[in-house]
Amino acid sequence: MNDGVLAVKIKCQEILEDLKTYYPDQLKYNGTMKMIYKQFELALVKVDQRKTLDVQFVSSCVRMFVDDTADYMHPLVGKMEKTAELIELYNKRVRGGNNE
Cβ neighbourhood burial of 53 (10 Å; 0-12, 13-18, 19+): buried
pTM to 2 decimals? 0.90
pLDDT tens-place string over residues 11-52 = 999 999 999 999 999 999 999 999 999 999 999 999 999 999
User: Which DSSP letter does residue 51 get?
Assistant: -
Comparing C-alpha atoms, which of 85, 79, 78 is closest to residue 4?
85
pLDDT of residue 99: 47
